Amino acid sequence: MWKWLHPYANPEVSYHFTGKILPWLGALATLFLSIGIIWALAFAPADYQQGDSFRIFYVHVPAASLSMGIYFGMAIAAFTSMVWQFKLADASAAAMAPVGAIFTAIALITGAAWGKPMWGTWWIWDARLTSELILLFLYLGVIALHNAFEDKNLAGKAAGILTLVGVINLPIIKYSVEWWNTLHQGSTVSKLGKPSMSIDMLWPFVFCFIGFALLVATIICIRFRSEILTRNSIRPWVRTLVSEHLSKHIAQEKNNAI
Amino acid sequence: MSVNQATSLTPPLISVTNLTCIREERLLFDQLNIEINAGDIVQVEGPNGSGKTSLLRILSGLSQPFEGEVFFNQQLISQSREEFHQDLLYLGHLPGVKGEMSAAENLSFNLTLQGAPNNAVNIEKTLSAVNLTGFEDSLASHLSAGQHRRISLARLYKSTAKIWILDEPFTAIDKQGVRALELLFKAHIKQGGCVILTTHQDLLTFEPEQVKKITLDYVFD
Amino acid sequence: MSIANLSYRAVFSLVLKRDLTIAMRHKDDIINPLLFFVIVVTLFPLGIGPEAQTLSRIAPGIIWVAALLSTLLSLDRLFKSDHDDGSLEQMLLSPHPVFILVLAKIVAHWLITGLPLILIAPLLAVLLHLNEQSYGALMLTLLLGTPVLSLLGAIGVGLTVGIKKGGVLLSLLVLPLYIPVLIFATSAIDTAALGLPYSGQLAIIAALFIGSLTLAPFAVGAALKVSTN
Amino acid sequence: MNPRRKKRLTIVASILIGISVVAGLVLYALSQNIDLFYTPSEITQGKKDSGVKPSIGQRIRIGGLVVPNSVKRDPDNLKVSFRLSDMKMPIIFDVSDPMITVYYEGILPDLFREGQGIVANGSLARGPAGELRIEASEVLAKHDENYMPAELADAAGKDYKKLEYSDKQLDSKN
Amino acid sequence: MQFDSFSAFLNMGGYGFYVWLSFGVSAALIAGLLFSSLTSHTKVIKQIGARQQRENKLRQVRKNRQNSTTNNPNEETQ
């Protein structure tokens, strides 16, 4: 079952493969994001209740769901690396952590900027916000652990353990805060009646969401490639690649000088 | 590189295949192959920082190599951990002696943990074998570094393990002590055990050809 | 071969006895976290003001946060000294499963730091004018919750024991993991103060306790293998 | 059974027992109603299962629906009062419904409006006529997950005007 | 187009500060991340290159030494 995956488990192959798809990912991300953001800012209708502040939605919601999604991906990578001793999985987890942290921070900041005019406060200790904040702490812990070990392989394993412990912790925290502070008492405190999101608001959201997802994929790809290089720095293919790259660089500088 | 292939009829006690070790992004050794049989005494040599300690830690299962496998009785050590550790005695740079416990308590705990038989009488005997008579009940924190080392070396006298992996066992030990240890090694390999050690001194009680050597040097390719 | 087949119970009590002996001869380990706990708790009335009503409202939070911090402070001793003198290596190389040794060390840690804390907590609660109805809840949550602190903390120490400046990193890793215990414990005590049943919160803390008791020793074992590499 | 097998079995069995105990405890906890949240009817009549009533002066958190036409604002300052009722469908009230009046001074969140669910933190007090009231220190409105343009909201007959504040009211705070 | 003028666009119906704060902070954070990711890739390549050069130099030194003593060049001997 895993056989077809095997060629991609080779660091060299995946380095070159990600190098090939990277420009396409980047171009698609730019396309979707520019359409989505312009549509969201200038053309989407304002919400009947929240007015134009509703436009924050187009950054906030994709960032929040991607921050969770990236953590989930990181946990899967940690699990694969632990069970199947799959070194590339560690590299991908290391590539995901900073991206996830930044998107969690974006979700928190945009959430606060939206909450201030709408709820009347920058911050509420409710289930979603608190668990998102803990998610940020977990990301920071994982990053700190990655940096604390000199040996990247060990760092990957240690961070993997923390990631998996965090996965169990996240739903507990979400649930615990729901009990402790019941501002989000689901159906009872929400408005009555159920009009779904109107279609001319939904389309820009779809574009924004796909655009952000592609952007995340692009950045993870870039970081993943650097991680592969650091972890395989003694391999001959990395050596030749580096020397080729450097000689090209030197030639370019000479050209510039002339 | 093999140390001894003459006795290929009996399977080697420890064998190592394609061992590669990287520390701090530096290649310490590459594609190392070793076979160690019962009755071998192996000395690992090399300049400082050439990976002697790393090799011993990988052999004992404390560290994982970048690549390659270590087998004990032709089984991966990660898969036969309990059997392997039952037959292994590893003494690293650190003596593993608690300052808050007396010499006798330290030895007794270490022996019991390892599963070696012990009681108050033979603990005292063992400690006297390493010249610690009279210090049995003093707290280890009141003893010197050399005495700490001797407490940890005392375990060798009671060990039932076949494989001894010793990282610089002679540091802080006087000449007489070194001689006693070497005699102990001799008895151990005669009984079908093996000793793997690092030391900067020559093993004087052994014939030079009796000691197998693994020489590590800086590798770049 | 047969000699080494010590039962799990024998190995467990061997390590437990050793750690308790060491702690008894090195009393700082017991007294310092306890003193820290007491001092942190007494700082709050000085900082907030001695108003009984305010204090009684925030008492559960103060006691729990102080317990959390003093546990964090004492965590360092859990594996650090063993790592520094090489006994940790020897334990990892013993023929016994690592989780049983780890569990014994964690239990010893709790007996040394958690238990004295529970014993002194009611006295401090008096100083903080804790609501009378809440004492039962306070004791029960501490009894079930402090072992969770030791168990989860051990994972953090296991991960950072090989790192030179692991102290700050340890709190970054461990404190987020402590949040559920804090929330449910203070919620239980608050609910008890209102005279409402708090068995739900208590059940969750018990679940956290049993869950971390079964899973944490394995996580710590894996973490120690990584960080002593 | 050989001792190694036996040991392994003990480990697996204890993990399984541990996990099932955890599951049992969580299920038990879920069956218990945990909240620190009072609805107006619970303040007057006590919690449904335990019958516990909050006492005067106690800090509580109340959640409910802002009763239409109950919002009274002082034209000179930021004082406001409104009545809260239990959530119910449709939003039609009669005199017998339990309601609690909330007093608050400050700027209400933009999403605050009549017929909307809100949460207020404050303390329970007794008014001049002996009735229960809440003196709120904080009023929070939750936004819902439904978004629509104003035209659609008009068609659906939604009330979406946000509160306006005069300069005089805003000045009174200082 | 939802807005009549550019200033109305900037004002965002009174929520300009919050909307532009959100979009601005997000854009800045993502740009920073993207920039650091791109530079870290070239940094890694340069680091590996530097180490390679250092090792080449060491190898050269060793070769010279070995030539002068004409020792067996095997790295691991029995």
Identify the band that residue C4 occupies on the pLDDT scale cut at 50, 70 and 90.
Answer: very low
Domain limits of chain B?
98-159
Shortest distance, CA C221 to any CA of chain B (angstroms): 12
pLDDT truncated to tens, each residue of chain B (221 aa)?
444 444 455 788 888 888 888 877 677 888 888 888 888 889 988 888 788 888 999 999 888 888 888 999 888 888 888 888 888 999 988 888 888 898 889 988 988 888 777 777 788 888 888 888 888 888 888 888 888 888 988 888 888 888 999 988 888 788 888 888 888 998 998 888 899 989 888 777 887 778 888 888 766 54
Contact C177 A169 (CB under 8 A): yes
In a domain, A22, yes or no: yes
CB A199 within 8 A of CB A44: no
Q: By C-alpha distance, which of E18, B75, C191 is closest to A56?
A: E18
A102 residue type, one letter = I
What does the pLDDT read at residue B99? 86
**Minimum Cα–Cα distance from C16: chain B residue:** B109
Query: Best interface-test mutation with A: which of D59, D86, D142, D165 has the largest number of A CBs within 10 A?
Result: D142
Residue A192 has pLDDT above 80, yes or no: no
Tell me the domain boundaries of chain E.
6-68
Give the pLDDT of residue C101: 94
- Given strand B41-45, what is the order of strands in its sheet? B88-91, B163-167, B194-198, B41-45, B211-215
From chain B, which residues contact C within 8 Å (Cβ)? 60-64, 82-83, 85-86, 88, 90, 92-101, 105, 109-110, 112-117, 139, 160
Q: How many domains does chain A have?
A: 1
Looking at residue C178, its pLDDT comes to 93
Question: Where residue D98 sits, what CATH number does that domain have?
Answer: 2.40.50.140
CB-based contact A49 D37, cutoff 8 Å = no
- Highest mean pLDDT: which range of A41-45, A55-59, B216-220, D141-145: A55-59
Q: Which residues of chain A make contact with E16, given a CB cutoff of 8 A?
A: 52
**Percentage of residues in chain D having pLDDT higher than 70:** 70
- What mean pLDDT comes out for the span C152-167? 89
pLDDT value of residue E74? 47
B53: nearest CA in chain C?
C229
Counting as contact any 3 or more CB pairs under 8 A, the partners of B are A, C, E
**Segment D19-35, tens digit of pLDDT:** 999 999 988 887 775 55
| pLDDT, averaged across chain D | 76
Chain B hits for C25, Cβ within 8 Å: 100-101, 139
**Residues of A with Cβ-Cβ distance to E19 under 8 angstroms:** 41, 52-53, 55-56, 113
Confidence of residue D149 (pLDDT cuts 50, 70, 90): low
Please determine, for residue C145, whether its predicted confidence score (pLDDT) is greater than 50.
Answer: yes
- The SS3 call for residue D104 is strand
Candidate from B109, B115, B117 with C-beta closest to C95: B115
Q: What is the span of the domain harbouring residue A107?
A: 13-45+52-184+201-257
Instruction: Report the residue of chain B nearest E53, measured CA to CA.
Output: B220
Determine whether the interchain pair C172/A141 forms a contact, defined as Cβ–Cβ distance below 8 Å: yes
Chains contacting D (3+ CB pairs below 8 angstroms)? A, C
Confidence at residue B3, expressed as pLDDT on a 0 to 100 scale:
47
CB atoms within 10 A of CB E73: 9
Are residues D17 and D64 part of one domain?
no
Please tell me if residue A120 touches chain D, with a CB cutoff of 8 Å.
yes
**In whole numbers, what is the pLDDT of chain C averaged over residues?**
89
CB contact under 8 A, A184 and D142: yes
How close does chain A come to E19, measured CA to CA in Å? Answer: 6
- pLDDT > 70 in chain C, percent: 97
Flag whether the ipTM exceeds 0.90: no
Is the pLDDT at C49 greater than 60, yes or no?
Answer: yes
> Which residues on B lie below 8 Å from A150 (Cβ)?
24
- Whether the pLDDT of residue D131 is over 90: the answer is no
Q: Is E77 on the interface with B (CB under 8 A)?
A: yes
Does the pLDDT of residue A47 top 80, yes or no? no
Range of the domain at D17: 1-32
Is the CB of E55 inside 8 Å of chain B's CB atoms? Answer: yes
A164 CB neighbours in chain C (<8 A) are 219
Query: Is residue A104 assigned to a domain?
Result: yes
Determine, yes or no, domain membership for A8.
Answer: no
How, if at all, do strands B163-167 and B194-198 pair?
Answer: parallel
Does D154 fall in a domain? no
Among the listed residues B48, B39, B36, B42, the one whose alpha carbon sits nearest the alpha carbon of residue B11: B36
Task: Please report the sign of the dihedral spanned by the C-alpha atoms of residue A174, residue A179, residue A180, residue A185.
Answer: positive
Are D92 and D134 found together in one domain?
yes
- R_g of chain E, CA atoms, integer Å: 30
Domain count, chain D: 2
Task: Tell me, yes or no, whether D62 and D126 share the same domain.
Answer: yes
Are D3 and D77 in a shared domain? no
Mark yes or no for CB contact A121/D156 under 8 Å.
Answer: no
D46-93 confidence digits (pLDDT tens): 766 666 677 777 767 788 888 888 888 888 888 888 888 886 656 666
Residues of D with Cβ-Cβ distance to C97 under 8 angstroms: 7, 11
For residues C113-127, average pLDDT: 93
For residues D86 and D62, what is the distance between their CA atoms, to the nearest angstrom?
10
Report the C-alpha gap between C149 and C175 in whole angstroms. Answer: 10
Check CB contact under 8 Å for D18 and C213. Answer: yes
- Please state the rounded mean pLDDT for residues C95-110: 93
pLDDT of residue D51: 67
Query: What local confidence, expressed as pLDDT, does residue C40 receive?
Result: 93
Mean local confidence (pLDDT), A179-201:
48
* C-alpha to C-alpha distance for C129 and A46, rounded to whole angstroms: 52
Query: What contacts B198, CB < 8 A, 6 or more positions away?
Result: B43, B44, B45, B52, B53, B56, B166, B167, B168
Residue of B113, B153, B166 best to disrupt the C interface, most CBs of C under 10 A: B113
Average pLDDT, integer, range D102-115:
81
